[in-house]
Amino acid sequence: MKLKKIFITGGAGFIGSYTCEQLLKIKDIKQITIFDNFTRGSKKNLKNVINDKRVKIVNKANILNLKKLTLSMKNHDVVIHLAALWLLHCEKFPNQAFNVNVRGTMNVLEAMNINNVKKIVYASSASVYGDAEFVPMTENHPFNNKNFYGSTKIASESLIKSYCEKRSIKYTILRYMNVYGERQDTKGAYIAVIVKWLNNIKSKKDLEINGTGKECFDFIHVSDCARANVKAVTNFNCNGEFNVGTGVGTSLEKLAKSLIKITNSLNLKIKKKKILTTSNLVTKRIGCTKKAKKILKFESKIDLNFGLKYFTKYFFTNN
């Protein structure tokens, strides 16, 4: 197994930056190439790695530029493909989402094939499952997705499997559950529920839940996701799809109460907002962790309460 030069699309992003940090702990790795257009990623995210001589950043990187992608990927051993438009952005701009999330993935595969790169780790999402028919959801759970973001992930998964099988390229597809943690986007238009609630707490506003509050999800800390990426890289010959989660479900109401308690904001209330339509509403999504534990040797380490305390401290220090 060759594991000397790693190419990461979206390497300056939320999950990508943590992945770079953890990869640099592996002594055999000689270079990490970060291919990121810095739309959501930032140099600030890379402050712990940017001065490492093994880290190379490609300027003006764009996965839609096949020529630059191919030239930049030359002589690499593994690709970690994280670059993508996020859920609500995909809903608003479906054509752009298709180009980046699907065409971009195809470009990554083409560049790999030209450069004879023999392993891809792909960041997929639990969005492919849609609402759970059973929990915990195994990797064989039906694709019940009803949003465009999930559709692009399903399409890319299928592309990767068919393309790689034909060309003897190894692939590991990671389906992240609900990821949270330090460096998560706090100022963009498409921020996650934990960040929205922390913003409310900072402004001394009540916390609002869109739904009954019983909606239940699997929240996993970003550093655990990064460890899963590293496990997928080092398990070079491991083909297949794997859930990346804790296997523990937490209701939105319980999550909100935890944040109120952690921040000692006991005067704030939790308000529930009735949803007029439930056609695309996901009410339960908890991942089965057995396959990842058995084959990838991955298991989450960070307890949600501990992770929320750490994230909350980081949030109020940096915002």
DSSP, collapsed to helix, strand or coil, labels residue 80 as strand
Residue 190 confidence (pLDDT): 61
Q: Which of 18, 122, 129, 149 is catalytic?
A: 149
Residue 210's DSSP bridge partners are 273
pLDDT in tens, the chain (319 residues): 567 999 999 999 999 999 999 999 999 999 999 999 999 899 999 999 999 999 999 989 999 999 999 999 999 999 999 999 988 889 899 999 999 999 999 999 999 999 999 999 999 999 999 999 999 999 999 999 999 999 999 999 999 999 999 999 999 999 999 999 999 987 666 668 999 999 999 999 999 998 899 999 999 999 999 999 999 999 999 999 999 999 999 999 999 999 999 999 999 999 998 876 655 778 999 999 999 999 999 999 999 999 999 999 999 999 8
Amino acid found at 57: I
- Please give the structure tokens belonging to residue 234: 């080092």
Residue 35 confidence (pLDDT): 98
Residue 274 confidence (pLDDT): 82
Residue 275 confidence (pLDDT): 75
Give the residue among 309, 313, 310, 315 at the shortest CA–CA distance from 183.
315
Residue with tokens 């239940």: 216
- The model scores a pTM over 0.85: yes
DSSP string for residues in 169-234: -EEEEEEE-EEE-TT--SSSSS--HHHHHHHHHHTT--EEEES-S--EE-EEEHHHHHHHHHHHHH
Residue 278 confidence (pLDDT): 57
- Helix or strand run (H / E) with residue 67: helix 66-72
Each residue's pLDDT tens digit, 59-97 = 899 999 999 999 999 999 999 999 999 888 898 999 999
| 101 neighbors 152 (Cβ within 8 angstroms) | yes
Residue 279 confidence (pLDDT): 58
DSSP, collapsed to helix, strand or coil, labels residue 37 as coil
| 294 neighbors 174 (Cβ within 8 angstroms) | no
Residue 317 confidence (pLDDT): 94
CATH superfamily of 5-129+137-180+221-246+289-301: NAD(P)-binding Rossmann-like Domain (3.40.50.720)
Q: Report the DSSP pairing between strands 250-251 and 216-217.
A: antiparallel
End-to-end CA distance of the chain: 43
Residue 185 confidence (pLDDT): 84
Is 314 a known active-site residue? no
Residue 63 confidence (pLDDT): 98
Residue 277 confidence (pLDDT): 65
Q: Report the DSSP pairing between strands 219-221 and 178-180.
A: parallel
